[in-house]
Amino acid sequence: MRPRTKKILSIYTVLIFMFFYIPIAILMAFSFNDSKVGTVWTGFTVDWYVSLFSNEQILTAAYNSLLIAVVTTIIATICGTLAALAFHRYSFPGKKALDFLFYIPVVIPDIVVAVALLALYGWLQVTLGLSTVLPGHVAITISYVMLVVLARLAGLDNQLEEAAKDLGANEWHTFWKVTFPLISPGILAGALLAFTISLDEFVITYFTSGPSANTLPVLVYSMVRMGVSPEINALSTILVLLIIITVMVVGKRMHIGNREG
C-alpha cells in the first residue's frame, strides 16, 4: 500500500470504529445518569445497577439463559462432533443429501425455524416453556459444531492415525490417544460457538418460550418495547462488558484469524 492510501484508510478505519463504539459508549454512560428520562446529564448514580440486581425477573432470565445455553452446548457438541467424525471417516449412501441437511440451519432465516417449531408445538399441543426453547437452540447449533469440527478434521494429518494403527493400536485406542487430542481444540471452538449462539439467541426463544419463561434477550426486548429506562442501560452495559471480557480472553487464547478454530 502507498503511504498516502494507508493514511486515508487508517482514518477511515478509525471512523468505522467510532461508528461501532460511540453508540455503545453513550449507552454505557447513560446507565450512570441520575435522570430517569431524557438525555440531559443530571449527575452520577449507580441506582440503576442496584435496582437491577434486586429485580427478580432479570435474575431469573439470566439464570434461564445460562441454563439453556449450557444444556444446548452439551447436546449440540456431542451430536455435532459425532456427525463430523462420521462425515470425515466413512463413506455411506446418502452422504451428499445429509451434508445438505446440516447446512439448512445455517442458511434458513431463524424466523422460519421459529414459526415452524411453533407450528409443531401447536400440533402436538405442548405447553410452551423453557423445555420447548431447547430443541430449537440445539437444532441450529448442531450444524455449527459439526462444521467447525469438520474443518479441524480436514486439516488433520492422516498419517498420525495410520502410524498409531501400524504400531498396534486398535480403532478405539487410536481415537482416544491420537485423534481426540488433535481435534479437541476444534471441539472446544465448536462448543464455545454453540454456547454464544444459544446465549444470544432471540427469535427462536421469543416464539417458543411462552409468556412465563424469559431469557435475557427476550427480557431486553420487552423492556425496550415498554420504553426507555436507565435500567436497560445498566443491564446492557453489563452484557457488553461480559462480551468484551470474553472476547479478550478467548481471542488471546485462540488464533482468531480463522473462526474454524
Which residues in the 39-98 window bind another protein by CB under 8 A?
39-40, 75, 78-80, 82-83, 85-87, 89-93, 98
Residues 153-192 that bind another protein (CB under 8 A): none
Number of residues that bind another protein (CB under 8 A): 94
Residue 154 has phi, psi (to 5 degrees) of -65, -30
In this chain, which of 21, 53, 63, 180 binds another protein, going by CB under 8 A? Answer: 21
Least distance to another protein, CB of residue 256, Å: 6
Interacting span for another protein (CB under 8 A) from 56-64, 159-167, 182-190, 195-203: 195-203
- Give the residue from 146, 141, 145 showing the smallest Cα distance to 204: 141
- Give the residue from 17, 255, 227 showing the smallest Cα distance to 155: 255
Does 18 help bind another protein (rule: CB under 8 A)? no
Least distance to another protein, CB of residue 21, Å: 8
Residues 216-235 that bind another protein (CB under 8 A): 216-217, 220-221, 224-225, 228, 232-233
In this chain, which of 113, 149, 189, 213 binds another protein, going by CB under 8 A? Answer: 113
Judge contact between 193 and 149, C-beta under 8 A: no
* Residue 34, CA distances (Å) to 10, 27, 75, 117, 237 in order: 37, 14, 45, 43, 16
In this chain, which of 64, 73, 179, 196 binds another protein, going by CB under 8 A? Answer: 196
Report the distance separating Cα 138 and Cα 143, nearest Å: 9
Report the distance separating Cα 229 and Cα 23, nearest Å: 16
The residues near 139 (Cβ < 8 Å, ≥ 6 apart) are 105, 113
The residues near 27 (Cβ < 8 Å, ≥ 6 apart) are 233, 236, 237, 240
Least distance to another protein, CB of residue 261, Å: 11
Least distance to another protein, CB of residue 66, Å: 15
**Is 48 or 87 the residue whose CB approaches another protein more closely?**
87
In this chain, which of 142, 187, 194, 213 binds another protein, going by CB under 8 A? Answer: 142
Does 202 help bind another protein (rule: CB under 8 A)? yes
Report the distance separating Cα 162 and Cα 205, nearest Å: 45
In the shown chain, the binding pattern of residues 232 to 261 toward another protein, with x for contact by CB under 8 A and - for none, equals xx--x--xx--xx-xxx--x----xxxxx-
Least distance to another protein, CB of residue 243, Å: 5
**Is 47 or 202 the residue whose CB approaches another protein more closely?**
202
* Three cell numbers, residue 248: 479478550
Judge contact between 31 and 49, C-beta under 8 A: yes
Least distance to another protein, CB of residue 252, Å: 9
Report the distance separating Cα 218 and Cα 210, nearest Å: 11
Name the helix (H) or strand (E) containing 197: helix 180-200
The residue whose grid cell reads 449440540 is 76
**Is 70 or 155 the residue whose CB approaches another protein more closely?**
155
